[in-house]
Amino acid sequence: MFLGQYEHSIDEKGRLTIPSRYREEFSDNSLVLTTGFEESLIVLTPELFLIFANQVRSKPITNPTSRQFRRVFFANAQEIEIDKTGRILLPAFLRGTANLNDSAVLVGNGEYFELWSPENWHAQLEILNDSGADEQRFSALDLTTLP
């Protein structure tokens, strides 16, 4: 499971080190990277990417919103190998999409993690840290505690 947040530098070639705790989740040293939301990137195990891909492919191509999401999801997806030192090469077009320059914040999200520019992540934290909005914002999720 991907938990926590880490800030790592991106070298001049566009390589980013994946934390060792995160690397443990990738059984075959490969991952899938695609565009996320709010100017972030999503990093998935190949297995989880296949689950999402099957869900996306199950939507009708006659629906314009479905077609748009397919384009965003599949056209921007890249299978990437983790090298022996634990680094991945971030494609330039995806770095540009998420405004990733010389560092990235890796944010755990359970089954996947996100890559954020530090500036975009700090802006997102301001939204997330609005405790006054939490009850209304999250009530529709119907979260319950386990017995």
Q: What is the pLDDT of residues 103-133, one digit of tens each?
A: 999 999 999 999 999 999 999 999 888 777 7
> What would the two tokens of residue 57 be?
């492919």
37's enclosing H/E stretch is none
Q: Is 106 exposed, middle or buried (0-12, 13-18, 19+ CB in 10 A)?
A: buried
- What pLDDT shows up at residue 147? 63
Please say whether the beta carbons of 36 and 114 come within 8 A.
yes
Indicate the DSSP class of residue 116. E
Pairwise CA distance, residues 52 & 44, whole Å: 10
Q: Place 136 in a pLDDT band, splitting at 50, 70 and 90.
A: confident
- Mean pLDDT (the chain) is 93
* Residue bearing the bigger pLDDT, 44 or 140: 44
Tokens of 14: 């566009």
Q: Which residues are CB-contacts of 5 (< 8 A; sequence separation ≥ 6)?
A: 105, 106, 107, 108, 121
Tens digits of residue pLDDT in 23-33: 999 989 999 99
User: Could you read off the pLDDT of 46-87 as tens digits, one per residue?
Assistant: 999 999 999 999 999 999 999 999 999 999 999 999 999 999
Q: Which two tokens stand for residue 136?
A: 């209304």
